[in-house]
Structure 1
């Protein structure tokens, strides 16, 4: 099943994400996206239900069984919602491509934070995804990786 990119940017391998929890795949396999500058509308990467929705991250339950974590930035929980506009509601069913959160990662000024968007298939084996877009630019709503 394909998962779509939630935002525009350049795809990086999860091992290159500057957060040890994500890069070691402790949450699950995935990729990072270095977003383009300017305001971004982050969209649902698949059809599903918003199991958890915080300004800086959301978990989308797909196929009633798999959680997809979309985490906007590294250490951005410390922003306490600043820079984020939540466009959906926790518990809401959404379609792939539907807007969830808007933000401007270029407005991050704290050197301990960065704008990399992490997309992770939670609690799945490292070999459960494949992507042929690592190192490439991507547009929101286009295929990011396949999971099986």
Structure 2
């Protein structure tokens, strides 16, 4: 089992609330989303592992068990060309769950015309393999779901 922690503070919601069909229908993978607190903040690693994909607006951490979690800092934020985002780690860095990985300005995302909602997706997970630990208010670093 892998416990996935929330990368940001806000409100934990089902992926169906993500304004993008690929996330809402779990084509990208199952998971949860966070409607973040509207502020400048940091996104943390959802699991212990290695950062093997990194851009200003998304990152993937793979654990030693091979399981990967991808975090998207907003939807369609690639259109912002990195404005409002700053990576705090490098690709290939080993991180611990709860360690800051990126800084971002949620209000800049919204003013740029993008949704700030944060999908937290279990890559290559099978349907029904996640056990949601919480919905509603959540603090960065708190348990979001378990992957069995």
| Aligned twin of 1:118 | 119
What secondary structure, in the 3-state scheme, does the structure 1 residue paired with 2:23 have? helix
Residue pair 2:133, 2:143 contacting (<8 A) in 1 also:
no
| Aligned twin of 1:144 | 144
Matched, 1:85 2:90: no
| Aligned twin of 1:37 | 38
Number of equivalences: 146
Post-superposition offset of 1:64 = 4.0
> TM-score when scaled to structure 1?
0.95
Alpha-carbon distance in structure 1 between the residues aligned to 2:81 and 2:65: 29
Aligned pairs (5 A) from 1:1-148: 1-108=2-109, 109-111=111-113, 113-134=114-135, 136-148=136-148
Alpha-carbon distance in structure 2 between the residues aligned to 1:144 and 1:19: 21
Q: Which runs of 5+ in 1 are unaligned?
A: none
Q: Which runs of 5+ in 2 are unaligned?
A: none
Residue pair 2:80, 2:112 contacting (<8 A) in 1 also:
no
> TM-score when scaled to structure 2?
0.95
Alpha-carbon distance in structure 2 between the residues aligned to 1:55 and 1:47: 20
Residue pair 2:43, 2:102 contacting (<8 A) in 1 also:
yes
Alpha-carbon distance in structure 2 between the residues aligned to 1:15 and 1:145: 16
